[in-house]
Amino acid sequence: MRTVGRAGLALRLTALAMAVLGGAAAMLGPVPAVGLAGRPVASSRSGPVERRPARQAPDVNPVAARRVAFRAHSARPLPDVRLAAPSPEHAPPDAAVILAFSVPVDTVATQESFRIQPAVPGVIQWPDPTTLAFQPLSPLAFGTTYAVSVSAMPAGGSGPDGGGTFRFTTAHPAPALPVPYTLTFDDCGTAQAIHGILDALADRGLHAIFFPTGMCRDQFPWLVPTLLAAGHRVCNHTYSHPVLPRLSNAAIATEIRRGVSVNCNLFRPPYGALDASGRVVSVAASLGYRIQLWDVDTRDWAGTPADVMVAMIRARGGVVLFHMHGLHTIEAIGQL
């Protein structure tokens, strides 16, 4: 078993882009000069920000001016635009930029106003008049914030225009270790700690296996859907984290049944505790589970320093045991 990594994430986002684009998107050909290096987006002459008020009285505030313009062309709604992809904070380096407009726009004029900074060569497609998709021709730089701006002209001639500037930051390179490894995260943690782990994994483009307790799922109803949406596997670690060999077979079964079960047949007994007679293994098997222990025990819950944990992972690889309540766990992910 090995970490899915950035490729998997990128694949999913590409799939998302394809879903948005649809199959019949017409290629409009390369954009000759997308983005003008050294020219700030906000001050760009054709930039989307506050270009309309210049036609009004000079001391009129932009919002009021836009309202006046809107009334003058009341038949046409003001196009609004949002960044549909990529994720603003963890964009994959091969991300497509997808802008979604609230109403059909003049694709030629709108495309003309499209800018990305730093400049990137790419092609623009219009799956439909409300969707602009920009596909860079080469991978974006790692750990870089890009600004995308567009001025949205309504389709069919004159009218008020809308637009906006959006920023997104690409993920850091996925860890390149000499050994394959899979990160796993057990138990539970504070909401802040869990989100910190998710952010750190997304920063590195990593997917992991989570073993939350059923109690953790009950405490944080958002947890399992959030983990699945981020592409992680979510497996069973009992309901209340007991020492299973001390329980009857029936009680073991109840603990497993009340645990988290989301399309994963892996079961990790609390403390890794198995009995010599094999009762835990056989009860788990009777419920369709196989036991998943670990190769590297970071003891992150006891405060193992991040650099020590990273060295342990580099030295051995395999299945790595972390916890959602580890003291330096987030730091270690960042150092992988």
Binding site for Zn ion (CB under 5 A): 186-187, 270
Cβ of residue 270: shortest distance to Zn ion, in angstroms?
5
Cβ of residue 181: shortest distance to Zn ion, in angstroms?
19
Kindly tell me which of 200 and 244 has the beta carbon lying closer to Zn ion. Answer: 244
Q: Are 30 and 121 in contact (CB under 8 A)?
A: yes
Cβ of residue 187: shortest distance to Zn ion, in angstroms?
4
Kindly tell me which of 62 and 242 has the beta carbon lying closer to Zn ion. Answer: 242
Q: Which residues are catalytic?
A: 186, 323
Question: Within a 10 A sphere around the Cβ of 73, how many other Cβ atoms?
Answer: 14
70, two tokens: 């809107």
Q: Are 218 and 194 in contact (CB under 8 A)?
A: no
Q: Are 234 and 264 in contact (CB under 8 A)?
A: yes
The HSE-up count of residue 161 (CA atoms within 13 Å, CB side) is 24
CA-to-CA dists, residue 61 to 158, 242, 247, angstroms? 22, 64, 72
Kindly tell me which of 158 and 219 has the beta carbon lying closer to Zn ion. Answer: 219
Kindly tell me which of 162 and 189 has the beta carbon lying closer to Zn ion. Answer: 189
Cβ of residue 190: shortest distance to Zn ion, in angstroms?
16
Kindly tell me which of 164 and 270 has the beta carbon lying closer to Zn ion. Answer: 270
Q: Are 96 and 17 in contact (CB under 8 A)?
A: yes
Cβ of residue 321: shortest distance to Zn ion, in angstroms?
9
DSSP H or E segment with residue 85: strand 81-85
Measured CA to CA, the distance from residue 257 to residue 286 in angstroms comes to 11
Measured CA to CA, the distance from residue 116 to residue 114 in angstroms comes to 7
Cα 20 to chain centroid distance, Å, stands at 17
Q: Are 155 and 132 in contact (CB under 8 A)?
A: no
Q: What is the DSSP letter of 70?
A: H
Cβ of residue 234: shortest distance to Zn ion, in angstroms?
14
Please identify the residue of the shown chain whose CB is closest to the bound Zn ion: 186
The string over 185-222, giving b where at least 16 C-beta atoms fall within 10 Å of a residue's C-beta and e elsewhere, is: bbbbbeeebbebbbbbbbbbbbbbbbbbbbbbbeebee
Kindly tell me which of 79 and 214 has the beta carbon lying closer to Zn ion. Answer: 214
